[in-house]
Chain A
Amino acid sequence: DTAVSQTPKYLVTQMGNDKSIKCEQNLGHDTMYWYKQDSKKFLKIMFSYNNKELIINETVPNRFSPKSPDKAHLNLHINSLELGDSAVYFCASSQDAAFEQYFGPGTRLTVT
């Protein structure tokens, strides 16, 4: 069984559109994350979400918003997409922020 799953795997869209990426984990973890990995493979934390506490990386534009309907899901909504949003987005989960993290397969977002 897949521990952390994301959909879609690929997402191609035009500038200005609004899109969502879904993430689900079946590990019973309390903390979930969204990361952005750019073309240089640098992995940047965007959000962490633990028991309804949201920790936001201050460099993330407010066009990005995480939404957690329950502990097992953390979706990422992106409004008014820009070319610079093109990247691979990873969802991850862990028992606690300092423990090992389990990553999803990634969503490759291409904005044209």
Chain B
Amino acid sequence: SQQGEEDPQALSIQEGENATMNCSYKTSINNLQWYRQNSGRGLVHLILIRSNEREKHSGRLRVTLDTSKKSSSLLITASRAADTASYFCATGISGNTPLVFGKGTRLSVIA
């Protein structure tokens, strides 16, 4: 069964605004990862947060993880047109179990 479910499915914002995407999952995890996919390209890894971490930052990205609610959020601050892409969360369960990806949130940043 699918692990990650992103919310919303699509998000449209103005350049300079913040974008928040959420991910919910169903079972215990080892880590949760966020990826970006530009149109016609492969996925690019953004950030990994482990199950014992609550928050992580990378540049304009901020990821939170709430294992009690089985949810994570990705915040992109001061968005740019170049942030327009689909964003996927993926959950890692154990060393031999492949990541399971959600369906993604499509973010449009309007200049």
Q: Which residues of A contact B30 (CB under 8 A)?
A: 98
Nearest Cβ on chain B to A29's Cβ, whole angstroms: 13
Cross-interface CB contact of B43 among A45, A90, A96, A97, cutoff 8 Å: A90
With A41-B103, A42-B103 given, is the CB distance from A97 to B44 under 8 Å? no
Q: Which residues of B contact A110 (CB under 8 A)?
A: none
Q: Which residues of B contact A106 (CB under 8 A)?
A: 40-42
With A41-B104, A43-B88, A90-B42 given, is the CB distance from A101 to B95 under 8 Å? no
In residues 92-107 of chain B, which contact A (Cβ within 8 Å)? Answer: 92-101, 103-104, 106
In residues 72-93 of chain B, which contact A (Cβ within 8 Å)? Answer: 86, 88, 90, 92-93
Q: Chain B: interface residue count, which band?
A: 20 to 34
Q: Residues of B at under 8 Å CB distance from A?
A: 30-31, 33, 35, 37, 40-45, 48, 86, 88, 90, 92-101, 103-104, 106
Q: Which 8 A-B pairs have the closest CB atoms?
A: A103-B42, A98-B92, A100-B45, A43-B101, A103-B43, A48-B98, A45-B98, A105-B42
9 contacts between A and B (CB under 8 A): A43-B43, A43-B88, A45-B98, A90-B42, A98-B30, A98-B31, A101-B43, A101-B90, A106-B41
Given contacts A99-B92, A103-B35, 7 further A-B contacts (CB under 8 A): A41-B37, A92-B42, A96-B95, A97-B99, A98-B92, A100-B48, A102-B45
